[in-house]
C-alpha cells in the first residue's frame, strides 16, 4: 500500500517512522507542513492522487491546549477542517484513514473509564475542534477509524516526561497537580498498534488507546524522577485550583481499551514498563 503519514515531525510521527523500517512491505510518504500543507484542500487532493495513496494516518494537529483558547481559528483549521480534506480525498480513491484524537473530547466528570460510545462533552477549544475533526472524518471517509489517546509522551518533541526530567535536574522543588487522574501513553506503543491496524485492516469506528493503569500527574512525576535517578528535587502535590490554566483539563480521563484489545487481539503494556523504556532511551 501507499500510505500518507501527516505530522511526521511530531512525537507520534517520529515513532511511526522508526516502525516503518520494520514494515517495509508498504511505501510511506512522511509529510509535515513543508511537504504538504493539510489546510490546503487542493494540495491534498493533488498529493493523494499523484502518489496513489491507499491510506492516511493523520498524526498532525494543533496540540497547544492553552494557546488554542486564543487561537480558535487556526485550531479549527488544523483539527477540524484539515482532517475533513484528508478524509474526502482518500475516500474518493476507496482508501482508508486513521485519525488520532484525544481524551479532551470528554469533560472529565466520570469516575469510571470512558468507553467509545459515551456522550462526548468537550470544554476546551482544543477538545471541541478535535471532536469536530472526528465527526468530519467519519462522515467523509467510509473506511475511517478514530483512535482517541491521552497524556502522550515520547523521546521526540516536547512533552511532560522530558519537561519533568529537565526541571527535576534544574530545580530544588516542583509543584505538580495531584487531582487530575488519567493514563500516560508512550507514543511508540500507539505507533505499534497503528501498524497492527494497517496490517490487519481498518475496522471502522471509534477506539480508545492508552497504556494500562491509572495515575495522577503528581505520581507520574515521582515515577519519572525515580526512573531517571533524580533525587535532589522535592515534588509537592498541587490542587488544580492552585495552578489555573486558560484551558480546562479533564479531572478524570481514563480510557477503556476493551474494544481495541478485542478487535485486534493486542496486549497493552502497563504505563510504568513503557515509561521505563522511554526514560532509558532519553538517558542514553
| Active centre residues (catalytic) | 126
3-state secondary structure the chain: CEEEEECCCCHHHHHHHHHHCCCCCCEEEEECCCCCCCCCHHHHHHHHHHCCCCEEEECCCCCCHHHHCCCHHHHHHHHHHHHHHHHHHHHHCCCEEEEEEEHHHCCCCCCCCECCCCCCCCCCHHHHHHHHHHHHHHHHCCEEEEEEECCEECCCCCCHHHHHHHHHHHCCEEEEECCCEECCEEHHHHHHHHHHHHHHCCCCEEEECCCECCEEHHHHHHHHHHHCCCCCCEEEEECHHHCCCCCCCCCECCECCHHHHHHHCCCCCEHHHHHHHHHHHHHC
- Does residue 87 contact residue 137 with C-beta atoms inside 8 Å? yes
Amino acid at each position: 500500500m501507499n500510505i500518507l503519514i501527516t505530522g511526521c515531525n511530531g512525537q507520534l510521527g517520529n515513532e511511526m517512522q522508526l516502525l516503518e523500517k520494520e514494515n517495509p512491505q508498504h511505501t510511506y510518504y512522511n509529510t509535515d507542513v513543508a511537504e504538504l500543507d493539510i489546510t490546503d484542500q487542493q494540495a491534498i487532493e493533488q498529493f493523494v492522487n499523484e502518489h496513489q495513496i491507499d491510506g492516511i494516518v493523520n498524526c498532525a494537529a494543533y496540540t497547544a491546549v492553552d494557546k488554542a483558547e486564543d487561537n480558535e481559528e487556526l485550531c479549527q483549521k488544523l483539527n477540524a477542517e484539515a482532517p475533513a480534506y484528508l478524509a474526502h480525498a482518500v475516500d474518493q480513491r476507496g482508501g482508508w484513514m486513521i485519525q488520532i484524537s484525544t481524551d479532551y473530547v470528554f469533560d472529565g466528570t466520570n469516575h469510571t473509564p470512558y468507553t467509545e460510545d459515551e456522550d462526548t462533552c468537550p470544554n476546551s477549544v482544543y477538545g471541541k475542534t478535535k471532536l469536530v475533526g472526528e465527526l468530519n472524518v467519519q462522515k467523509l471517509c467510509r473506511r475511517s477509524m478514530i483512535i482517541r489517546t491521552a497524556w502522550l509522551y515520547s523521546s521526540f518533541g516536547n512533552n511532560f516526561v522530558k519537561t519533568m526530567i529537565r526541571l527535576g535536574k534544574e530545580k530544588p522543588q516542583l509543584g505538580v497537580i495531584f487531582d487530575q487522574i488519567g493514563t500516560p501513553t508512550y507514543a511508540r506503543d500507539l505507533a505499534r498498534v497503528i501498524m497492527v491496524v494497517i496490517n490487519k485492516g481498518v475496522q471502522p469506528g471509534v477506539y480508545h488507546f492508552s497504556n494500562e493503569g491509572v495515575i495522577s500527574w503528581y505520581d507520574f512525576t515521582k515515577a519519572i524522577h525515580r526512573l531517571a535517578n533524580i533525587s535532589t528535587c522535592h515534588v509537592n502535590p498541587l490542587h488544580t485550583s492552585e495552578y489555573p490554566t486558560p484551558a480546562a483539563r479533564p479531572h478524570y480521563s481514563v480510557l477503556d481499551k476493551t474494544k481495541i484489545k478485542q478487535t485486534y487481539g493486542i496486549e497493552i503494556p502497563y504505563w510504568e514498563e513503557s515509561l521505563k523504556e522511554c526514560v532509558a532511551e532519553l538517558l542514553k
